[in-house]
């Protein structure tokens, strides 16, 4: 097929000259104000203190009781909320994005909704419909932000599948997928047909209530994908826990049938792969190959993975094999192999294959930029980078200044909506926050330099 063969640049080979690694030092902090740097240093120091992260929710409740909600809210806004969240209103989000764009960075909006797996039974269909409306508004907001000055095009947003369908249903689907393997009744094609036609779907393995919820979920997914496509916003679907991921992959594969087809021009729905899982490289290779064979575009967000402790606790509790890599080095090796695989795919398939290197790890980013250079992949092409708002700005800024496409994952919403979400994210990313020592050292050096009045 013409489109699939139209490789962007593989024939071009590495450009003349030698590859220069990016310099992730405090140099890029010159773009930031002193107050911002002080807040970043304070917040990163606080977040690296384990008791604060472990007991974050309880501490927040205490501070509200002791100080009153206004004062404790103001403290949060001046610290953690201000550091990691864009704001509450459209205007606040727009201001935050404008500042990022002036620094060469792009927004990756994330609606902070999540279903706590243990509470799955308590949520109702109306809750998912409300979430759908929030996602549709996020599409519109993402689209609106393109109008602001700075880098634009390639608009993306994050989508958490369990905001639109229940963890309970995903668990049930996952156990059937594991039991049956590839089966026509649970095929992406069948789900895609039901999504597109709106016709009633009856899966014999599911009970009436589950079938009804699946139907409603498919309709929600179709509506959000259709709206995103109309607004030219790409949906980056998050990966979650191994006990539901196979169901999430199935739902994304169903969406991909329509929205990643050659007629639509590019991947509009992306999947996330977690390198900390033992079988991720194999699955990524299979999925990339399957997308190529089916003539579908393929979009991947590559992460190390956020739910390490929980995955290990669950496997220990169930007496099953730990699905995660045995140590950090093995996860990093897996990440490098997945990165290599995807960069080769991009180099072969051109714009039919997109990749977000979603990592704060300087080694991984050096590897990605080096291989992009060797494979002749342009800096502003189908490979981009992703980091969290308020984290590793020295890395994001250096990438952005060098012309790479860099997205900051940006949660937004009210204090009550976002703080529990942030604390949970901080608990999941404990090792990253503790590892942000280099960033803290760079921030201290820059602040000390400014204090001495050096230019
Ligand atoms: C834009 C963006 C989107 C994201 N989306 C998702 C998502 O959809 N799903 C998701 O799960 N995560 C997601 N994450 C979080 C991501 O998975 C990582 O938790 C986070 O980015 C840290 O990895 P790193 O490469 O940045 O940093 P590093 O500090 O180099 O790596 C830390 C990571 O290494 C792994 N690790 C640490 N210790 C061990 C050990 N003892 N054994 C094995 N592995 C270990 C863990 O995965 C840990 O998170 C996202 C991150 C970003 C920036």
Q: List the residue whose alpha carbon is closest to atom 53 of ligand 1.
A: 387
Nearest CA-CA partner of 402 in 125, 105, 168, 73 = 105
- Could you tell me which residues come within 8 angstroms of residue 348 by beta carbon, excluding any fewer than 6 positions away? 7, 10
User: Which pLDDT band, with edges at 50, 70 and 90, does 421 fall under?
Assistant: confident
Q: Which among 116-120, 252-256, 447-451 has the top mean pLDDT?
A: 252-256
Per-residue DSSP letter, 157: E
Tell me the CA–centroid distance for residue 361 and ligand 1, in Å: 9
Report the alpha-carbon distance of residue 36 to residue 39 in Å, rounded.
5
Q: For residues 355 and 364, what is the distance between their CA atoms, to the nearest angstrom?
A: 14
Percent of the chain whose pLDDT exceeds 70: 91
DSSP tag of 320: P
Percent helix, strand, coil in the chain, to 5, is 60, 10, 30
User: Is the Cβ atom of 303 under 6 angstroms away from ligand 1?
Assistant: yes
Least confident of 316-330, 410-424, 427-441: 427-441
Q: Is the CB of 238 under 6 A from ligand 1?
A: yes
Q: Show the DSSP H helices in 238-390 as ranges.
A: 245-259, 280-293, 308-318, 328-349, 362-375
- Smallest CA-to-CA distance from 423 within 87, 92, 91, 116 is with 116
- Rounded Cα distance between 252 and 238, Å, is 10
**Dist. CA 430 → ligand 1 center (Å):** 10
State residue 66's pLDDT score.
83
23 in Cβ contact with 391 (< 8 Å): no
d(CA 264, CA 77): 41
State pLDDT tens for residues 117-148.
Answer: 455 555 688 999 999 999 999 999 999 887 65
**Tell me: the pLDDT tens digits for 191-231?**
999 998 888 889 999 999 999 999 999 999 999 999 999 99
Tens of pLDDT along 83-98? Answer: 899 999 999 999 999 9
Asked whether 432 lines ligand 1 (CB < 6 A), one says yes
CA–CA gap between residue 233 and residue 428 (Å, rounded): 28
CA distances from residue 303 to 184, 206, 280, 378 in whole angstroms, order as listed: 30, 32, 11, 21
Burial grade of 70 (CB within 10 A; 0-12, 13-18, 19 or more) = exposed
The per-residue pLDDT for range 264-283, each reduced to its tens digit, is 888 999 999 999 999 999 99
Mutation test of ligand 1: which of 157, 389, 426, 432 has the most ligand atoms closer than 8 Å to its C-beta? 432
Q: Where does the pLDDT of residue 79 fall: very low under 50, low under 70, confident under 90, or very high at 90 and above?
A: confident
Describe the crossing of helices 90-102 and 125-145 by its angle, rounded to 10 degrees.
Answer: 40
| Nearest residue by C-alpha to atom 30 in ligand 1 | 361
For residues 345 and 360, give the distance between their C-alpha atoms in angstroms, rounded to a whole number.
22
Mean pLDDT of 400-404: 92
How much of the chain, in percent, has pLDDT values that exceed 90? 60
Taking 50 as the threshold, does the pLDDT of residue 4 lie above it? no
What average pLDDT does this structure show over 241-261?
96
What DSSP assignment string belongs to 287-317? HHHHHHHTT--EEEEEE--S-HHHHHHHHHH
Per the CB < 8 A criterion, the answer to whether 378 and 321 are in contact is no
At 341-360, the pLDDT tens digits run 999 999 999 989 999 999 99
Q: Which residue minimizes the CA distance to atom 17 of ligand 1?
A: 305
What integer pLDDT is reported at residue 16 of this predicted model? 59
pTM of the shown model? 0.92
The residue-averaged pLDDT of 253-262 equals 96
Q: Whose CA is nearest to atom 3 of ligand 1?
A: 358
Indicate if ligand 1 lies below 6 Å from the C-beta of 323.
no
Kindly indicate the confidence band of residue 21, based on its pLDDT and cuts at 50, 70 and 90: confident
> What does the mean pLDDT of the chain come to?
88
Helix (H) or strand (E) holding 99: helix 90-102
């Amino acid at each position: 097929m013409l489109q699939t063969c139209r490789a962007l640049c593989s024939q071009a080979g590495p450009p003349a000259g030698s590859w220069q690694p990016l310099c992730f030092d405090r140099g890029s902090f010159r773009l930031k104000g002193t107050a911002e740097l002080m807040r970043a240093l304070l917040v990163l120091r606080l977040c690296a203190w384990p008791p604060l992260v472990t007991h974050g929710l309880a501490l927040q409740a205490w501070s509200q009781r002791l100080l009153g909600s206004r004062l404790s809210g103001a403290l949060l806004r001046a610290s953690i909320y201000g550091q990691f969240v864009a704001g509450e209103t459209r205007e606040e989000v727009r201001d935050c994005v404008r500042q990022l764009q002036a620094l060469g960075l792009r927004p990756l909006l994330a609606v902070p909704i999540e279903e706590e797996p243990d509470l799955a039974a308590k949520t109702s269909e109306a809750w998912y419909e409300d979430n759908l409306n929030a996602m549709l508004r996020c599409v519109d907001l993402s689209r609106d932000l393109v109008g602001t000055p700075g880098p634009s095009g390639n608009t993306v947003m994050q989508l958490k599948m369990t905001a639109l369908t229940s963890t309970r249903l995903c668990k049930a689907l996952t156990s059937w997928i594991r039991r049956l393997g590839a089966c026509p009744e649970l095929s992406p094609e069948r789900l895609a047909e039901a999504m597109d036609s709106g016709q009633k779907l009856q899966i014999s393995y599911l009970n009436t209530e589950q079938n009804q919820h699946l139907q409603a979920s498919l309709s929600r997914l179709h509506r959000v994908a259709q709206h995103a496509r109309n607004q030219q916003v790409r949906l980056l679907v998050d990966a979650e826990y191994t006990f539901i991921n196979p169901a999430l992959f199935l739902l994304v594969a169903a969406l991909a049938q329509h929205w990643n087809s050659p007629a639509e021009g590019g991947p509009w729905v992306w999947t996330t792969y977690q390198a900390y899982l033992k079988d991720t490289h194999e699955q990524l290779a299979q999925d990339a190959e399957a997308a190529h064979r089916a003539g579908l575009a393929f979009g991947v967000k590559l992460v190390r993975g956020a739910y390490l402790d929980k995955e290990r606790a669950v496997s220990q509790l169930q007496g099953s094999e730990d699905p995660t890599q045995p140590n950090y080095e093995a996860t990093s090796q897996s990440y490098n192999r997945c990165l290599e695989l995807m960069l080769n795919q991009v180099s072969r398939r051109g714009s039919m294959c997109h990749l977000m290197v979603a990592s704060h790890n300087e080694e991984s980013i050096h590897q990605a930029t080096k291989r992009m250079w060797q494979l002749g992949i342009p800096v502003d092409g189908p490979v981009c980078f992703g980091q969290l708002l308020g984290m590793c700005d020295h890395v994001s800024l250096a990438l952005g200044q060098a012309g790479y496409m860099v997205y900051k994952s940006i949660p937004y919403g009210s204090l009550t909506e976002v703080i529990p979400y942030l604390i949970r994210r901080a608990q999941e990313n404990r090792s990253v926050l503790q590892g942000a020592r280099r960033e803290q050292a760079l921030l201290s050096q820059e602040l000390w330099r400014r204090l001495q009045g050096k230019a």
